[in-house]
Amino acid sequence: MLKRLGAERVGELLTGSFGVDELGVRSHARRTGLGGRLLSGITAAAPGGRAWLLTWDQAHDALAFYRRHGWGEPEAVHGQEADIVVFLSPP
């Protein structure tokens, strides 16, 4: 995360916000809306509405899920790509 965003941006974007450590639903519950409700529920009380999470850049279903729910990826520091993707909650 530090390598991908740089120390200053980690402080600016993530410090003081709510971090989602892990979120998952069983395969039979996917595409039912449960994951979205869980994500909304656990981030609803985030300080200032600010939350973040990390996922692997090869977790294509997870990447699509977070993007579909309005989570965005801050631009990486040029030349410092990593296999971790940082997502920020919707504004």
Range list of β-strands (E), 1-91: 18-20, 51-56, 84-88
Is the model more confident about 82 or about 23?
Answer: 23
What's the Cα-to-Cα distance from 47 to each of 14, 17, 43, 44, 81, rounded to whole Å?
11, 6, 9, 9, 28
Q: How much is the pTM?
A: 0.86
Q: Are 55 and 21 in contact (CB under 8 A)?
A: no
Q: Supply the pLDDT for residue 77.
A: 79
Residue 80, pLDDT > 70, answer: no
- Mean pLDDT within 2-29: 90
Q: Supply the pLDDT for residue 51.
A: 97
pLDDT in tens, 24-79: 999 999 989 999 999 999 999 999 999 999 999 999 999 999 999 999 999 887 66
| CATH code of domain 2-88 | 3.40.630.30
Residue 16, pLDDT > 70, answer: yes
Question: What's the CA gap between 28 and 82, in Å, rounded?
Answer: 31
Question: What's the CA gap between 16 and 19, in Å, rounded?
Answer: 9
